[in-house]
Amino acid sequence: MLDWLKNIGKDYPDFWKDYVFKFEHPSHRKVALYLETTGINPSKDRIISIGAVAIENGQILLEDSLEIELDKKEILENKDLTYSEIKAIESLINFIGNATLIGHRIHYDIEILNEYLHKLQSGRIKNDLLDIEVMHGKIIDQLNKQYPFLEILNSYKVDAPDITTSANYAFSIAMVYLKMKNRLGLK
Amino acid sequence: MKDSISETVANFLKDFKPFSFLNFEELKVIAKKIRVIHLNKNESLFKINDSLHDYFYVVNSGVVHLTVISDAEETLLNKCYIGDVFGLRPFFAKNNYQMTAKANEESMLYAVPIDVFKPFVSQNSEVLNFLLQSFAQNSTNPTDKINQELISDSVQFIEFQNDLSFFQTLNYNRKPLIVEHNQTIREVAIAMSDNLLDNAFVKETDTVIGIVTDADFRLKVATGKHAIHSHIDKIMTYPVITVTENISLAEAQLVMLSHKVHHLCVTLDGTAHTEIKGVITQNDLVEAQANSPGVLLKEIKRSGTAQQLKSIRYALADIIQQAVTKNIPLQHIFNVSGEITLSIIRRSIEIAILELGSPPVPFAFFSIGSQGRKEQLLLTDYDNFLVYHDVDIQKNRIVKDYFSQLTKRINEILEKIGYKHCEYNHNAHNLQWCKSLSEWIKQYENWINTPGEYTNEHCSIFFDFEFVYGDQNIESEITEAIFSIKNKTLFFDYLGNDALRKPAPLNFFKKFNEEDNGTFNIKAKAIDQLVDIGRLLAFHHGLKGVNNSFYRYKELAIKDADNAEIYLNAADVFLQVSRLRTLEGLKNDNIGIFIDIENLSKSDKEKLKESLHVLKDLEEIVKDTFQLTQFS
């Protein structure tokens, strides 16, 4: 009966239709996400690189990972989205699907992603979100404090990556998440 | 597309065998397919008889214990640390897992898919060899443990846990000397001497027809029965007893005994008509049993470096672990381990003296603390001091200099072996504890006559000394000096106060006085007090020559018949808590001070609680015997 609601977005791009369609089924997949951006202002700042890795059944699957690095110079020179940026966002949306997203201060990432999606005539990110900063606060029962990313890595004895790429940061987020989830009693 | 995660993982793997045999590109291909698994403390990855996983595992962080259940008891086979590979069973066998893998602390594992890794195994013989070795490796061989960090996965080893030494495969000479039957005796003798062998096989058209050993030369050549230029087949012993390649220790022993021979010939299929693969001598059998205490002692005498001594100390740890879990009386284990540790230390001193030249005056080296009482089972700190003969003032400086160098070297060696520095610096390298005999006697007199002057000194442990090396007269002179001091009341009162000042094991509600993290400090809250009170009462009753807490309480029961029951009880309690501590220490590779109360079974917990009441009784005895008010 409510099928017409879906058809409202008829002029959405194809990747977005696929994305929305995936939400018909629930998901156990989780994706650790790290975006490298030029800043935290969603309307002005741009994504430079993307790293993401999937977690299923409490295991990090290295083959199920995404790593995109964009040409920073090209992005800063162009006011509009470049072709490679559009491709990058599309493959990211394809990759995350209906998985739960995990990140550090993930709402910034989502805001900036939503801005991009808006420019691509698409809707807003619909995934469930988990923020390791909030999770850490819950574990040590001090929610109103801020915890920098490296500090969190340190307190769970996860080594900060030697090669500092977004993908490696995403990998670290995934490892921290595995260590956290049992302490919080998550499945 | 870049792939930095695989690079990071490959970077980690490249430092560890078998991955170090592969190049970086290959590692990246493998890393791409790896899964990362997280295990909580005490969570198990697979259990005995679980069906095989499609992965084998590399430890990224944390510690994983491999255990088997034998005789309804969980026995620890191996501990896997960072970079160790385990769970190799799916490579070689199709039946289910034969052991349990359980995280002893929070761990991260890399799961490498077997399908992805298999091609690399078949292409690269080094990798295959390593995996085969890891799989078949017998973890009782301590030198290999240091050199290669292999993790045993062998089936035989598991099934015959109780007699593991008998079912291990043998190490033997795989390149025996083979001579033709028409070579002269002289040629063969030269070849044997060149190869440093005591035996050679004689063959005729690719078949072994006999063996010559040193004995043959002695009996048949040196006696003049045969000339040295006659053919070797004149003096060889035949037929040769042949066996198959993978013979076990027990089998080899049986074959040797039943045929009354000292050498076995290993051939491809166990008959004399196939290729010769090696020779097993009686010596190989002895070496295979190298983990018996007697053999260890012999090996200590032969070793020349700290590294060798370290591997012996590892072997000792294995013996202790097996003995403790098999309920061999702890007192016996104390004795054995005490003797072996003693000779390890003795050997270290000898090595140090060999390096520095002989000492200018006689000296004596003493162990104090736990080794002095022969109660050291774990690698705890090792306290010691050194006494040398009095010398003229002119020579004093040279002598002092020599001994300070000597003690420095000794303690360096001991540290390499694995004994930690004492936190109070109670070792001979500290100039305070490396003095001449008269200074030492003065020191002891000071301690006894004016106790409490150095309030933060743990001087009491200096009264548990054991002679290790050097001039034994010095020991008797010190003992004499201590026992000849008449008025020791003050000293006793001081020690009594000291002993009673230890924290109580149980609180007002008869619960364990736990640390913040829910563990129980068994050393500070039980063992220390038992030891201190035992020492104090032993001195008071003038017991000479017993330094061990267990024996002290036993002796006290005879001397002081009124309280005999309490003393006997205390002796048992001492063994019980030491046992708990040792088990905990072996399990976690530490000094076992903190017992995890939560993990004790309920009956164990109650037993421990019950037994700790003896401390209260002992305290009462101390309070009655001494005047404690002087110091409190």
B chain contacts of residue A182, beta-carbon cutoff 8 Å:
38, 40
Do A167 and B33 count as a contact with CB atoms less than 8 A apart?
A: no
Q: B127 and B18 in contact (C-beta within 8 Å)? A: yes
Question: Which CATH superfamily hosts domain A27-183?
Answer: Ribonuclease H-like superfamily/Ribonuclease H (3.30.420.10)
In the structure, how many helices (H) and strands (E) does chain B have?
Answer: 25, 20
- CATH superfamily assigned to domain B178-288: CBS-domain (3.10.580.10)
A-proximal residues of B, 98-137, CB under 8 Å: 106, 108, 111
- The phi, psi pair for A141, rounded to 5°, reads 60, 35
If you compute the radius of gyration of chain B from its CA atoms, what whole number of angstroms results?
A: 30
Residue type, B629: T
A76 sits in which H/E element? helix A72-77
Helix, strand, coil shares of chain B, percent, nearest 5, are: 50, 15, 30
Q: Beta B100-103 vs B44-46: how paired, if at all?
A: antiparallel
- In chain B, where the domains are located: 4-159, 178-288, 293-439+462-473, 494-625
How would you list the strands of the sheet with B199-204, edge to edge?
B178-180, B199-204, B207-213
Average pLDDT for B365-375: 81
Q: Could you report the per-residue pLDDT of B461-506, keeping only the tens digit for each?
A: 777 788 888 888 888 888 888 878 777 777 788 778 777 777 777 7
Report chain A residues whose CB lies below 8 A from the CB of B5: 51, 53, 62, 65, 67, 167-168, 170-171
Q: B90 with B56: CB under 8 angstroms? A: yes
Are B523 and B505 contacting, i.e. CB atoms less than 8 angstroms apart? no
Encode pLDDT of B552-566 as tens digits. Answer: 888 888 888 888 888
**pLDDT score of B570:** 87
**Which comes out higher in pLDDT, residue B133 or B163?**
B133
Contact between residue B449 and residue B485 where contact means Cβ atoms under 8 Å apart: yes
Bridge partners (DSSP) of residue B467 are: B366
- Residue in chain A nearest B31 by alpha carbon: A62
A138 within 8 A of A184, measured Cβ to Cβ: yes
CB B164 within 8 A of CB B315: no
Contact assessment for residue A126 and residue A23, using Cβ atoms and an 8 Å cutoff: yes
- pLDDT tens readout for residues B101-157: 888 888 889 998 888 888 888 788 788 777 777 766 533 334 444 444 344 443 333
Decide if A65 and B5 are in contact by the 8 Å CB cutoff.
yes
Residues A72-92 have a mean pLDDT of 84
**Which residues of chain B from 587 to 626 reach within 8 Å of chain A, CB to CB?**
none
Kindly determine whether residue A63 and residue B33, on different chains, have CB atoms separated by under 8 Å: yes
Above pLDDT 70, what percent of chain B? Answer: 88
Give the pLDDT band (50/70/90) at residue A101. Answer: very high
Q: pLDDT tier at B71 (50, 70, 90 boundaries)? A: low
Q: What residue spans define the domains of chain A?
A: 27-183
The yes-or-no verdict on residue A1 having pLDDT over 60 is no
Q: What is residue B147's predicted lDDT score, i.e. its pLDDT?
A: 41
Provide the pLDDT for residue B474.
85
When pLDDT is averaged across residues B426-448 and rounded to a whole number, the result is: 80
Tell me the average pLDDT of chain B. 79
Q: Residue B37: its chain A contacts at CB < 8 A?
A: 58-60
Contacts 24+ apart (CB under 8 A), A176-179: A176/A132, A176/A152, A177/A30, A177/A32, A177/A55, A177/A102, A177/A130, A177/A132, A177/A135, A178/A55, A178/A58, A178/A60, A178/B36, A178/B38, A178/B108, A179/B38, A179/B106
Interface of B with A in 36-55 (CB under 8 A): 36-38, 40
Q: Is the pLDDT of residue B359 over 80?
A: yes
- What percentage of chain B exceeds 90 in pLDDT? 0
Distance from CA of A58 to the nearest CA of B (A): 7
**Mean pLDDT, residues B216-226 taken together:** 87
Chain A closest-CA separation from residue B90 CA (Å): 20
In this prediction, residue A33 carries a pLDDT of: 92
| Closest CB from A161, A168, A175 relative to B36 | A175
Q: Which residue has the higher pLDDT, B11 or B598?
A: B11
Residues 6+ apart with CB under 8 A from B243: B251, B252, B255, B264, B265, B266, B267, B270, B280
- pLDDT tens across B275-311, in order? 888 888 887 777 666 556 777 777 787 778 888 888 8
CATH 3.60.15.10 fits B4-159, yes or no: no
Radius of gyration of chain A (CA): 17
**Per the CB < 8 Å rule, is A58 touching B9?**
no
| Site of tokens 């394809």 | A94
Q: What is the pLDDT of residue B142?
A: 40
Q: CA-CA distance, B300 to B339, in Å (whole number)?
A: 11
Q: Which two tokens stand for residue B451?
A: 């106790």
Least confident range of A61-65, B456-460, B561-565: B456-460
Q: Which two tokens stand for residue A170?
A: 């995403």
Per-residue pLDDT, B70: 58
CA–CA gap between residue B383 and residue B381 (Å, rounded)? 6
Contacts of A62 in chain B (CB under 8 A): 5-6, 9, 31-36
Q: How far is it, in rounded angstroms, from Cα B179 to Cα B163? A: 38
Q: Phi/psi of residue A48, each to 5°?
A: -100, -40
The pTM of this model reads 0.56
d(CA B443, CA B229): 74
Q: What is the pLDDT of residue B151?
A: 44
B293-439+462-473 topology per CATH: Beta Polymerase; domain 2 (3.30.460)
pLDDT bucket at A53, cuts 50 / 70 / 90: very high
Give the SS3 label for residue B183: coil
Rounded mean pLDDT, B413-431: 76
Specify whether the CB–CB gap between B98 and B78 falls below 8 A.
Answer: no
Total residues belonging to chain A:
187
Per-residue pLDDT tens over the stretch B301-354: 777 888 888 888 887 887 787 777 766 777 778 888 888 888 888 888 888 888
What's the pLDDT band for B453 if we cut at 50, 70, 90? low
| pLDDT value of residue B88 | 80
Q: Which pLDDT tens digit goes with each residue over B234-274?
A: 888 888 888 887 777 777 888 888 888 888 888 887 787 88
Residue B45 has pLDDT above 80, yes or no: yes
Asked whether the predicted pLDDT for residue B376 surpasses 80, the reply is no
